[in-house]
Structure formats: structure tokens, C-alpha cells
Chains A and B, each alone.
Chain A
Amino acid sequence: MALATPPGEGAIHLIRLNGAEAARIVAGCFEPFNRERWESGGGYTLHPGRFREGGTELDQVLIGRMPGPASFTGEDVYEINCHGGMLAAQRIIAACLRAGAAVAEPGEFTLRAFLRGKLDLVQAEAINDLIRARTEMAADLAVAQLGGVLSAAVLETRGEILDMLVNIEAGIDFPEEETDPLTRAELLHRLAVTKERALDLLAGSREGRVIREGLSTVIAGRPNVGKSSLLNALLREERSIVTDIPGTTRDEIREYVTVGGILLHLIDTAGLRASEDPVEKLGIERTWKALNLADVVILMLDARDARRHELSAEERMVVAEYAGKIVVLLNKTDILPERGGELPPELRAEGIRVIPFSVKTGLGMDELALDLRGRVLAGSASVSAEPRLANVRQINALERSLRALEKAEEAMQASAPLDLISIDIREALEEISQITGDAAEEELLTEIFSRFCVGK
């Protein structure tokens, strides 16, 4: 399953479901207005109706049905047209995931089409690139999540699940050794605690802006140039600490905002300058990391410095490194005397968009919105936007892990033996491991041997 339209706000979104299970998943959520026509099972037909999960209606949709093997992938294909706005699309995607769908990897539909004999060899040449891209994206994604608060909490929960499983398995494989197995009461207690933690995590991940999504946009610039003011202007709320003391935003601040119909995941960063303050240095390091991962970089310059050709080494570096994804805002243009002077040659290079800007007066805001929108529509920013779906996938993996924990708890309460309970806990571990990307099996054995004194 994948979102086939570019992410962001548009008139409609198209979600494509492909594969043997697609029919079952759609049937479970879709309530057609004309049931008779839907159930007659014709191919290449469109069906209006309601998309539901449980008792909740998520959206009114139009579903196109293209049964295999005539479809373009050679398998059953369902296309769900829903209303624009990422929320509706995300909710439908999440519902399909819960019903058993899996998020398509980049290029997966093409791959399946090829494997089913639907694409020719020339097209297949592109597939190797996709495979490589997938690996690289996975690596990027892993980097993006490392160090995040959420992932630390996930790791901790995973650790607790692993610990329970290690305890059970050590007792099973070394029944007469010194493994000090947990009692059933202890295990039940720990299951309850871990379940609560997973629930909290899940609640946190949905809270507020629901599913964290958007064009990842980094605001960079030297200290006190007005980055946080821009963020606040966009949000119209005071989130970052804005003062006149340079270097106030030492950490990055993340927010979500819709600009010109495009959902932005805005990241305000620590100001770029040479610094000896260890805390500030750390913040600056993070800024560079964020810049590497961003879809769009908004470089904010003081118009007066720019016109005087007084770019700092850091500013020049940002321009050179991220030329392809940079928008330069010349802030404080409103207080610039007359025309000022010519821009430095770096900023006059091909492909660098420079917008005269003023946070205070709102000058240039429309132009910025147009530019961002243009980038999404041109597709230049949407390729790397793909991993964002992984967020939905991660939430879903967490949900499956939680469900497995609940099953384990139920089984415990029903006095089921440990070999059954271990199946559920192992499932919980495998699901949550999909978020962190760690292999569960080898770690399990390593933990058994390092933590317990087993053996003759």
C-alpha cells in the first residue's frame, strides 16, 4: 500500500492497495453506497462509499477496482480516492495497516509489476536503482531517528520486552540452571507495566498534530537573524524563546504548519557560528545534521549584511552544500535604506532562490509559500518525503507490538503455559524491533548467555 499522490494538501489523495490481501482489507473498511454493484465484482469500476474503521467514518471515498492479472502490477489493485489534506489520507492508511496491509517500499509496485512480467527489461533497469535507493533511504531514516526522544522511549520499551523474553527462554532452555526465573505474578506485573508504557508512547505519537508528517524544512542562519521570529510568525504562537541575546535557540525546535497548502515540518535550529560554548556547539552540530536530512533549507540572512557582502563562513558553506534545496530569505529588507547594494556572487548563482523578506511586515511571505508549493509540485522535494510514511508504519508496528503484549497478558490470566506466552512476547519483540531495525533473534541468545550463569 502506498500514497500515490504527493504528500501535502491537495484536492484529493489517492491511496493504492496492491496484492492478494487487498480485496479483504478493502472489504473490511468500505461501505459502498451501491452494495449490489460493488458485490457484482466487476473490474475497472469506480465505487463511491464510506471508509470506516470500527464505528468511525474516516472519509467519503471513491474506490477504483482493478483485479489482477490484467492490472498494471499483475495483482489485484484497489485505488482509494479520498479528500485532500493529509489527515484523511493518513487515517485511511493507518486503518488499512491495522487491517493487515504493509507500507510499500519505494519502488515496490514497479518491482512487483516486473516480477509479474508486466514491465519490460528496459524499465527493469531502473529497479536496481530503486533497490539501492531503498537501502540508502533506510539508512537515512535510521540516522534521522537516532537520538530522538521517541526512539529512546521505544528502545526502552523494547528492552523491557526483550528482558521478559530472555528470562522465559533462559528458564526453558536451561531448566535446571541458575537462571532465577520470574514468577508468574512478577511476569504478569511486568507485562502490565510494559503495556502501559507502550500505550503512553502510542498516545504521545498521535498527540496534537496526529501523525508527524510534512515537508521537512530547516530554518538556518546566524544567531539572532530572526529564525525563531519566522517560525513564530508562521505558527502565530510563541513557542521558541525569542530574545535579543544571540544564541538563545540552542536546541532545535520542531513544528508543523501549513503554508500555501503544503504541510511543513519546520525545524528551527541553533544559530550557525563558531562557538566555544559546549552546549551551543552541540546545538550547532545538530543543525548540520538537520540540514543534511532536510527536504528544504530556508537560509535566513540579514539583508544589510548580505548587501554588504558580509556572509560568514558558515553561511557560505550552507549555500554551497545545499544549493539544490535552498531558499534564501533576506530578512529585515523593510529597514534597508533604498536598494542597498548588489548581492554577493554566491547568491547570484543559478538555481538559488532569493526572496527579499521581512518577518515584521510579512513582506515576501506569499512568495515563500509559492516557492515551497512549486517545489512539491515539481517533485523535487517529494522523493525524499517518502520515508515519512515510515512514521505511520512505526506507529503501526508499535500498535501490533502492544496487541501482542495484550494477548500475552490475556494468556497469562487464562493460566496458559509459558511456551504459549513466549510466542506472544516474541511477536511483541519482533514488531517493536521493526521500529529500531534491530535483529531480535541473535540478541536474545546473546542476552541469555551474558545475563545468566548457564551450562555444565
Chain B
Amino acid sequence: MNINKPVEYDAGRYDVVVIGAGHAGCEAALAAARLGCRTALLALNLGRVAFMPCNPSIGGPAKGHLVREIDALGGAMGQAADKTSLQARMLNTGKGPAVQALRVQSDKAAYSREMRRLLFAEPNLRLYQGMAERLLAHGGAVAGVVTHTGARFTAPNVILTSGTYLRGRVIIGETLYAGGPDGEQTALTLADDLRAWGFRLGRFKTGTPPRLARRSVDLSGWIPQRGDAARRGFSFLPQPSIFWGDDPARQELCWLGYTNERTHELIRANLHRAPLYTGVVRGVGPRYCPSIEDKVVRFAARPAHQVFLEPEGLGSEELYAAGISTSLPEEIQTRLVRTIAGLEKAELVKPGYAIEYDYILPRQLTPGMAVKECAGLFSAGQINGTSGYEEAAAQGLLAGINAARRARGEAPFIPGRADGYIGVLADDIVSKELLEPYRLLTARAEYRLLLRQDNADARLTPLGREIGLVTDERWRVFQAKMERREAVLTRWEGQRFSPRDENLRAVLTAAGTAMPTGGAGAAELIRRPEITAKEITALMPDLPDMPADELDEAVTLIKYAGYIAQQELNVAKARKKERRLLPPDLDYGSITGLAHEARQRLREVCPRDLGQAARVSGVTPADITALLVHLERRRRDGSTDG
């Protein structure tokens, strides 16, 4: 890219350098700096840090859980989303406490500004706009980064969070150009540099829908989508929205409408110009995020598809058209949008596009996001083959924590699958084969009932405190909450109701459930499906004062006690396997009884423990037995073969 090679100069020595200032990079840089490391953050464009090139929303099932976990550990995403919230909704409220999840529509520009403010507020953090061109190495370990203008950042820890920018290629119909998401430039040379370093890279694809000018659409026939009537936020330290404060009635609206047969006909008539079907797109796209052309082909019987119009921001005047992601030619996109009722005169502000990019096969990483073959190098976010702001932020937080821990000479922090979705995510991507960009789903969590969004703090804040990211304020709030919970649970355990209790009779009758013949304990009553927090408050008006969600959580713990105990038992069983650590120098090639495929996969993944080994794609129970036998033999030999 440079015609002349720039003269390198010393841009300083750091403990940690982060390349990329997206959602992963921001969390990584903040975590490292807050843990006391001298940190530098390199961004292609400092005006667009933590930018959201896709949906203007954060959260949803599994993703919302993840944001709560990031917050519980002391990360930034939850608070930034709450502060810039335009609308917040709890999804899945009728489906049980384990799968309830918050989704927040955020103002993109405000979110970026808020994150930028947090970055600049960190005294240990230096921000720098520039393109990382190559990594420096010294004796098998990373030693720093050089930018395209010759700035040399020297550091023993480098975190790669360059997202979809690696050899990015944007596709809109017949138009193809090298570029990053949403009009950004692409990082061209870094991919070549990584390849030269021996990284195995894959190629994925993703896409976005067009953006429309708000002034050009008529939403009178559309169904308004409102935020919840109750105040909702991700953070365990509540942050008022800069847009609606503490008054949910002032939340922004989203809008629901539908495509129709005319839309579908137009798409079918132009499939020969759809890059997805002409073979132009080679990267593998996610199944969970099909383009509208894909939906029309695969679900031909459906007469209409949903379109959600979501505000990109309060001042932006742009609407994000969720549901019609497309890479059809611009001209067709305009006509397509205008077949939809209310959008007949819609102005396309930005066309939808597909983007292909390189990613690092994440089997090359440890579950702590460290690159196995290169000490001090970490990678996090979409560059690891995942999709989603939340997945990126979680990995960034993990990488930032572990880079800092390495700088301080501490052992890495590896969250388990029973600790949180963050553990599920990390373990999945380093153990399993990715067939498409990885998206977290609640269905991927085997202990879903334990990983609720209401207890993310109980699961992770003590760990965050140990790590050093949980501030005194957060710790105090957390402890007070735990004390309230404990007090209520103890109270319920001891309380009994007499069969002659008239208040009890009144409450139970109103709830439509029978009076217990011989009296009943509080817990016993709470387990009845008809009894909710409302009845409980009526039965025990003198309960200590606590927020509604805390009371709900305590009720969940009682109602679900049996299932929760069962899952905890399963966790204990799995932990046994996790305690059997696998030596990192294990030569899988020499273990007799291992199938060929297992040998290859295990060598690649290098699992940390027996539990992870069993989850590696292609490893059978017989292979695990062979591994056990080998370990025992090795132990008896006194590790002479190691």
C-alpha cells in the first residue's frame, strides 16, 4: 500500500497493545488499562470506536445474558448500552426465567461517543489512530506492532481485534470492492502478515440490510413496537438513559411491517444478479442470518416476511430495515424496498451489502483467547470467526484480562461452561469446528437453568472482584443484594402458614388454588404454579424492601429448586473430568488406540483438560478411554516419555 517504505520510529513501550477499537478492542483495552497495564489502542478510525455496522441493538437471547455477564465482571458494554438506550424490552418473558433476555435499541453515534469517553477517561490508556501493518516477534513471542506510518509500539502482549477488516471485500450486486464494514477501509497487509506467521485463516461472509431515510417512509400502516413499561437495563449498576432518563414512557418506537408477493417476485426475477447465487460470494455465511433473497428461495411458500424498522439513532434520521439483508444490485434493492407498503417512496441512504473477510481458525487459541503458538499474542472478536457485538465484547474482555494477567505474571482466567455464557462461548469456539460465523444461542448452554440473566452477578462478580475489575462501588451493591436475597430465602425456609390463616385463604382463593389442609411452609406454597411475586407480597407484606427483579429471582430459586439441583449435580460430574488436566506436551501421535481423526483434532486443539477433549469435534468416547489409559501409563512411567 505504501509506495515508499516509511521510516520506523519508536512510539513507546507498553504492557499491552490492542489492534482494533470495535466492541472486542474497547473491552480489551479498558480491562487491561483498568488492571494497571500501560495500554495502547490502535484504531483505523478513532471517530468510530465501538461502532455498530449492523443492527442498532444489543442483547436478545444468550446475547443479552452475555452483556449481563460482561457487566458483572466489570466490563463496559452493559452500562454504555443502558446510557444510550432508545428502547429496552425483556424478551421471552412467558417462557421461563432461564431464557428471559433483555434487548436494548441503542443510539449508534451516542454509543460510540460514550465508549470513546470511557476510553479517554482511562489514564493508563493511550489512543492512536493508525493501521497496524505487521507484528513484531522476538524468540517465538510477540514483541509489538508497526503501523503503516512507521510507528513502532513495543509490547510483550498484543491483542488482535480487527473484526471483519481482514482482507474485507464488499459485494453489492455486480459491484465488488476491497473495504471494511459500513464504508470503512480494510486492513489489507495484516492478513498477509498473519498468514506469513503461520496462522490458518478461514473466510466467512455476512451481510446487512439497506438503511432508509426516515422522512421518506409512511409508517401509518406499520405496527409500533414499544419498549417495556418497566425500567429495564443491562447493568447491575443502573444507568439512566441519556434519551429517556428513568421514564420508560419516553422510549423510542420500532416498527413492524411485511414484504409481499410483489417483493418476492421481484427478487425471483433478479436472482441471476444475486451474488449469493452467481457464485461471487465464496465465504460461508451464517444460517441464522439469511438474506431476503435466501429466505425467498428457501421458504418459497411463505407469502410475507417480517421487516422491522429500527432507528439508527435519535439524530441520524436513518432507519435500519432488519429482515431484508441483501447483496442484490443497488437498483434492485431500491425497487425491492418500494414494493413494501408504506415504503413506496423510500430513499435508500445506504444499500445493503455482503462482506467477506478472513478469520483466524479459533482452534489455534486457548479458551483464554491466547494464541497457542505465539506467546503474548491474543485474538478476540469477529476475527475469531464469531458474529455479534456481544460475542466480540465478551472475548475482548477475556483477552484484555488475560493479557493483563500475563503482564503481571498471573495464571490465565478461564471461565467454565457452568460459570456463564462467556465460558460456553470460549470453550465452543476453541473446541468445535466452526461451519459458519459462530453465534451464541441459549440452546448451546447445557446448564441453561443455572446461567440466568438474573444471577449473572452471583455467578461472576466474585470472580471479577478477584480479577480486579469490580470496583468497590459494584462490590458493595452486590454484597447488599446478596444479603437481601439470603434474608428472604431464610425467612421463607422458616415460615409456616396455619390452615386457619384467613389472609392465606383470601390470597389463595383469589389466585385460584386450594387451601392446604394441614397448613404449609412458605416454600411449599411458592412452588405452586399459581403463586407469583404478587401473591407472595400479599402473604408476607413485611418482607424486607427489595426491587421487583430481586424478588422474582428469589421466587425462581424456590420454584425451580429441583431442576436447579439436578443441573448442579451435572455440573459436579463434569467438573470431575475438568480436573483431569492434559499436559500441554502430550504427543497425541504416539497414543495407541486413538482414531486417526481424533489424533489430528486433539493435536490441533490441544485441550486443557479431559472434559474439553471430549467436546472436541470428532473425538469419540473410545478415544477418551485411550487417552485415559495413556495418561495412567505415563503417570506410572514417571513422565519419562513426556
Interface positions of A (Cβ within 8 A of B)? 111, 114-115, 117, 121, 124, 127-128, 131-132, 134-135, 138, 169, 171-178, 414-420, 423, 441, 444-445, 448-450, 453-456
Contacts of A128 in B (CB 8 A): 592-593, 626, 629
Given A111-B628, A115-B628, A128-B592: 7 more A-B contacts, CB < 8 Å:
A124-B632, A172-B99, A178-B306, A414-B529, A448-B443, A454-B290, A455-B287
Can you name the residue of chain B whose Cβ is closest to the Cβ of A166?
B443
B200 CB to closest chain A CB (Å) equals 22
Given A416-B529, A419-B95: A456 and B622 within 8 A (CB)? no
Complex CA–CA separation, A418 to B636 (angstroms): 50
Can you name the residue of chain B whose Cβ is closest to the Cβ of A418?
B95
Complex CA–CA separation, A350 to B308 (angstroms): 80
Of A173, A415, A423, which is within 8 A of B529 by CB?
A415
Contacts of B626 in A (CB 8 A): 128, 131
Q: Which 9 A-B pairs have the closest CB atoms?
A: A417-B96, A419-B96, A449-B287, A455-B289, A419-B98, A415-B529, A128-B593, A131-B593, A418-B95
As a 0/1 sequence over residues 288 to 302 of chain B, the CB contacts with chain A under 8 angstroms (1 = contact) are 111000010011001
Does residue B181 face the partner (Cβ distance < 8 Å to A)? Answer: no
Of A111, A114, A444, A454, which is within 8 A of B288 by CB?
A454
Q: Are A417 and B593 in contact (CB under 8 A)?
A: no
Q: Are B302 and A456 in contact (CB under 8 A)?
A: no
Contacts of A455 in B (CB 8 A): 286-290, 325
Q: Are B629 and A114 in contact (CB under 8 A)?
A: yes
Contacts of B485 in A (CB 8 A): none
B388 CB to closest chain A CB (Å) equals 11
Contacts of A176 in B (CB 8 A): 91, 306, 308
Q: Are A172 and B625 in contact (CB under 8 A)?
A: no
A407 CB to closest chain B CB (Å) equals 10
Question: Which B298-349 residues have a C-beta within 8 angstroms of A?
Answer: 298-299, 302, 305-306, 308, 322-323, 325
Contacts of A419 in B (CB 8 A): 95-99, 448-449
Q: Are B632 and A114 in contact (CB under 8 A)?
A: yes
Does residue B511 face the partner (Cβ distance < 8 Å to A)? Answer: no
Given A172-B61, A454-B288: A418 and B96 within 8 A (CB)? yes
Does residue B572 face the partner (Cβ distance < 8 Å to A)? Answer: no
As a 0/1 sequence over residues 546 to 584 of chain B, the CB contacts with chain A under 8 angstroms (1 = contact) are 000000000000001001000100000000000000000
Contacts of B298 in A (CB 8 A): 453
Number of A-B contacts (CB under 8 A): 120
Chain A residues touching B, majority SS: helix
Does residue B441 face the partner (Cβ distance < 8 Å to A)? Answer: yes
Contacts of B55 in A (CB 8 A): 456
Of B289, B441, B567, which is within 8 A of A456 by CB?
B289
Contacts of B209 in A (CB 8 A): 456
Complex CA–CA separation, A444 to B444 (angstroms): 10
Complex CA–CA separation, A138 to B622 (angstroms): 10
Contacts of B305 in A (CB 8 A): 178, 453
Contacts of A171 in B (CB 8 A): 95
Can you name the residue of chain A whose Cβ is closest to the Cβ of B94?
A417
Please name 18 pairs of A and B residues whose Cβ atoms are closer than 8 Å in the assembled complex, sorted by A. Answer: A115-B629, A121-B633, A131-B622, A172-B95, A172-B443, A173-B441, A175-B61, A176-B306, A178-B302, A416-B96, A417-B95, A419-B98, A419-B449, A453-B295, A455-B287, A455-B288, A455-B290, A456-B54
Contacts of B628 in A (CB 8 A): 111, 115
Complex CA–CA separation, A169 to B92 (angstroms): 11
Contacts of A178 in B (CB 8 A): 302, 305-306
Q: Are B449 and A132 in contact (CB under 8 A)?
A: no
Contacts of A177 in B (CB 8 A): 306
B40 CB to closest chain A CB (Å) equals 34
Complex CA–CA separation, A415 to B96 (angstroms): 11
Does residue B595 face the partner (Cβ distance < 8 Å to A)? Answer: yes
Does residue B185 face the partner (Cβ distance < 8 Å to A)? Answer: no
**How many of B's residues come within 8 Å of A, CB to CB?**
51
Does residue B620 face the partner (Cβ distance < 8 Å to A)? Answer: yes
Q: Are A172 and B92 in contact (CB under 8 A)?
A: yes
Contacts of A454 in B (CB 8 A): 288, 290
A54 CB to closest chain B CB (Å) equals 23
A76 CB to closest chain B CB (Å) equals 17
Contacts of B44 in A (CB 8 A): none
Complex CA–CA separation, A176 to B305 (angstroms): 12
Can you name the residue of chain A whose Cβ is closest to the Cβ of B625?
A131
Does residue B442 face the partner (Cβ distance < 8 Å to A)? Answer: yes
Interface positions of B (Cβ within 8 A of A)? 54-55, 60-62, 91-92, 94-99, 209, 286-290, 295, 298-299, 302, 305-306, 308, 322-323, 325, 441-444, 448-449, 529, 560, 563, 567, 592-593, 595, 620, 622, 625-626, 628-629, 632-633, 636
Complex CA–CA separation, A229 to B548 (angstroms): 79
Given A418-B95, A455-B286: A444 and B443 within 8 A (CB)? yes
B275 CB to closest chain A CB (Å) equals 18
Complex CA–CA separation, A63 to B441 (angstroms): 49
Complex CA–CA separation, A138 to B288 (angstroms): 35
Of A124, A138, A418, which is within 8 A of B633 by CB?
A124
Q: Are B95 and A445 in contact (CB under 8 A)?
A: no
B276 CB to closest chain A CB (Å) equals 14
Contacts of B295 in A (CB 8 A): 453
Complex CA–CA separation, A423 to B325 (angstroms): 34
B539 CB to closest chain A CB (Å) equals 20
Complex CA–CA separation, A449 to B60 (angstroms): 17
Contacts of A114 in B (CB 8 A): 629, 632
A426 CB to closest chain B CB (Å) equals 9
Q: Are A420 and B96 in contact (CB under 8 A)?
A: yes
Interface centre among B54, B288, B308 (most CB of A within 10 A): B288
Contacts of A115 in B (CB 8 A): 628-629, 632
Q: Are B323 and A456 in contact (CB under 8 A)?
A: yes
Contacts of B54 in A (CB 8 A): 456
Interface centre among A174, A177, A418, A456 (most CB of B within 10 A): A456
A148 CB to closest chain B CB (Å) equals 23
Contacts of B95 in A (CB 8 A): 171-172, 175, 417-419
Complex CA–CA separation, A124 to B449 (angstroms): 42
Interface centre among B54, B209, B444 (most CB of A within 10 A): B444
Q: Are B443 and A135 in contact (CB under 8 A)?
A: no
A102 CB to closest chain B CB (Å) equals 12
Contacts of A135 in B (CB 8 A): 595, 620, 622
Can you name the residue of chain B whose Cβ is closest to the Cβ of A138?
B622
Contacts of A172 in B (CB 8 A): 61, 92, 95, 99, 442-443
Of B287, B529, B629, which is within 8 A of A127 by CB?
B629
Complex CA–CA separation, A417 to B556 (angstroms): 11
Can you name the residue of chain B whose Cβ is closest to the Cβ of A119?
B632
Can you name the residue of chain A whose Cβ is closest to the Cβ of B295?
A453
Complex CA–CA separation, A455 to B324 (angstroms): 9
Contacts of B287 in A (CB 8 A): 449-450, 455
Given A127-B629, A135-B622: A175 and B91 within 8 A (CB)? yes
Can you name the residue of chain A whose Cβ is closest to the Cβ of B529?
A415
Q: Are A173 and B592 in contact (CB under 8 A)?
A: no
Q: Are B629 and A124 in contact (CB under 8 A)?
A: yes
Contacts of A414 in B (CB 8 A): 529
Contacts of B632 in A (CB 8 A): 114-115, 117, 124
B285 CB to closest chain A CB (Å) equals 10
Can you name the residue of chain B whose Cβ is closest to the Cβ of A450?
B287
Can you name the residue of chain B whose Cβ is closest to the Cβ of A452?
B299
Complex CA–CA separation, A171 to B298 (angstroms): 19
Complex CA–CA separation, A423 to B622 (angstroms): 27
Can you name the residue of chain B whose Cβ is closest to the Cβ of A413?
B529
Contacts of A456 in B (CB 8 A): 54-55, 209, 289, 322-323, 325
Contacts of A418 in B (CB 8 A): 95-96, 99
Complex CA–CA separation, A114 to B290 (angstroms): 52
A122 CB to closest chain B CB (Å) equals 12
Complex CA–CA separation, A226 to B595 (angstroms): 45
Contacts of A423 in B (CB 8 A): 448-449, 563, 567
Interface centre among B322, B567, B625 (most CB of A within 10 A): B625
Contacts of B629 in A (CB 8 A): 111, 114-115, 124, 127-128, 131
